[in-house]
Amino acid sequence: MAISGGLILLAHLLDQPGLLLAALAVAARPIVGKAWAELASRRAGMNVLMLSAAIGAVFLREWNEGAMVLFLFAIARWLEKMSGEKARSSIEALRSQMPAQAHLILPDGREADVLAAGIQVGDTIRVKPGERLPLDGTVTAGQSTVDESALTGETQPVAKEPGQPVFAGTTNGTGTLQVEVTRPVEASRFSRIMLSVQEAQAAKTRLQTSLERFADLYTPAVIGLALLVAVIPPLAGLGPFPTWIHSALVLLVIACPCALVLAAPVTLVGAMAAAARRGILVRSGDVLETAAGVRVVAFDKTGTLTVGDPDLLDLVPLSPRVDRSAALTLIAALESGSEHPLARVFIRRAAEAGLALPAVDAFTAVRGQGVEGLIAGRRYRFGTPEWAGALCPTLPPVLPPERAACLTVSVLCDEQGPLALASLGDRLRPEAAAVIADLPAHGIIHTVLLSGDRHETAREFGLAAGVQESRGRLAPEAKGAHLADLAARYGPTLMLGDGINDTPALAAADVGVAMGTKGTDAALATAGAVLLHDDLRRLPLLLAIARRTRTLIRQNIALAVGLKLAVFGLSLAGYATLWLAVLADTGASVLVVANGLRALGDPPLPLRPAGSRPGANASPRS
């Protein structure tokens, strides 16, 4: 490209037309092979068009225009290559920073630096302050904060302590961590993200395939039309052959589908790279194309719309003999001997409050009912209202109505009567209400909560979150059937879920989106997009990226077609030269590439519709 450009410049400076032929030959060399390959496969592509135009220019002794045709075409192809590399650079930059070695802790306690690829599941590694983690694992010793922004888009460092997961590609803070490896290098979350992004960027979307198929039919038609333009008008006495052959060559050049074929891929690759940088993994360009037209968003409840961890929602004293702290102390003391999953909720809350737990004697755990024991010589029961209340049958507990959202309503009793009522349940994500209030600004006309939980529970959480429809007692297959019904009534659907039971719905929806941190492997494999950080605010961001991508692709198609039509009109009127046609074709490609690369930036987020509710830390209340 540089050589042919230099020869063209010298030809004009030295007034040596022969150098133009040399420039044309140099520029034609890579194009001839590609044009021959196109003809060998019985298809005429853009290389055939450009080479035909250049050969025609030579026969017309328009050497300058022929050389410019191929030189500017080479510039267009170079710009296409550079745009693709720039769109992928944000992902490749992170890949290049991954550590090749890890600090392996040997059985005798010594430390050895070994290749990360050689680390086995179950090995323990040490991660020092400021280092990037080479593998996924679980913290076994040490405390620190980890910057997960490169993987999840979360800007705030995340505190890590023993028992918590850490991921390859994230950066350790100021503490030293010992990590037990849970996945080999090739199976880490980072590696799976890289593989998915590569596959997504390599795959062609339905729109790309349609444009390329159109180009395959369009190019032979243009060649045929150019032959007619070159032959019929002169035979009809409308002008000399050279004039109409020149117009036919302009038609060949201006009709080259370079910019049209570039309209989608540059934009889609940039959009997927932008989404990945913001903690959203998009598995294919088709997902973005479909998400741009989504009209219905369906949510799973547990772990998606809610936090997914049971917590103490309320603790209400039922007797003047105890206050809230005293009740929590007694309950935590009783639960400290229990293996029930909910027991740790009370123990954690007591520890957070700095409460000292008394000793418990004669402890008994009754499966499905609760716990019982002696504290300071007094017998207590904590569990189901019926069982705990049996300790004082002469004075049954007077309980407030059970809240539908609770997983468990338990009562603390002694032999004199009920002391306290504890309500345990899940909590709505703090950002849920604000996110759902923002969805109409992204083209969503209907929201629905699909849950396998009780109807009352689903309805109460749905009301707190602001969804328009709530359905409970749905089997996994029933969620998929309900999505099909919603699609028939409203249009394309998006399902957001995290569990194995959500996989049928994720597959049935037009777009399936999984919560990445707590999502099961089945949900992550089924979904078309993954929110790498469990933050619902990334859902409107995904929709904004998708809608902007669609807008940019439409703009690119309009630019590619509109500019070519304008120059072809000038050609028919006798005002367009061959090099101007090439310049217009190259200009269209440059504009399409430049416009497509805007997808790498932040999408404009619409303002919340007037009258929508702010996203307070909402929890269901009966």
Residue spans of the domains in the chain: they are 120-183, 267-308+429-548, 311-425
Of residues 603 and 446, the one with the higher pLDDT is 446
Which backbone phi and psi does 286 adopt, to 5 degrees? -60, -35
Cα R_g (the chain), whole angstroms: 34
- What would the pLDDT profile of 349-405 be if each residue is shown by its tens digit? 999 899 999 999 998 888 768 899 999 999 999 988 888 888 877 655 555 554 444
What pLDDT sits at residue 595?
87
Q: Indicate the CATH number for domain 267-308+429-548.
A: 3.40.50.1000
The answer on pLDDT for 617 being more than 50 is no
Helix (H) / strand (E) containing 260:
helix 258-262
Q: Are 505 and 495 in contact, with CB atoms under 8 Å apart?
A: yes
The domain defined by 120-183 folds into 2.70.150
If you count DSSP H runs as helices and E runs as strands, how many of each does the chain have, helices first?
21, 22
> Which member of 300, 502, 535, 585 is catalytic?
300
The three-state secondary structure class of 200 is helix
**Model confidence at 607, in pLDDT bands (50, 70, 90)?**
very low
What pLDDT sits at residue 406?
46
- What would the pLDDT profile of 171-182 be if each residue is shown by its tens digit? 898 889 999 999
The answer on pLDDT for 509 being more than 80 is yes
What pLDDT sits at residue 618?
36
Contacts with 544 (C-beta within 8 Å, 6 or more apart), sequence order: 442, 603, 604, 605, 606
Residue given tokens 């416009």 in the structure block: 595
Q: What is the pTM of this model?
A: 0.65
| Whole-angstrom distance, CA of residue 612 vs CA of residue 465 | 12
Residue given tokens 């957001």 in the structure block: 496
Q: What value does the mean pLDDT take over residues 445-471?
A: 88
113 is catalytic: no
Mean of all residue pLDDT scores within the chain: 77
Classify the phi-psi angles of 410: left when phi > 0, otherwise alpha if psi is within -120 to 50, otherwise beta: beta
Beta bridge partners of residue 422, listed in sequence order? 315, 410
Q: Tell me: domain 311-425, CATH 3.40.1110.10, correct?
A: yes
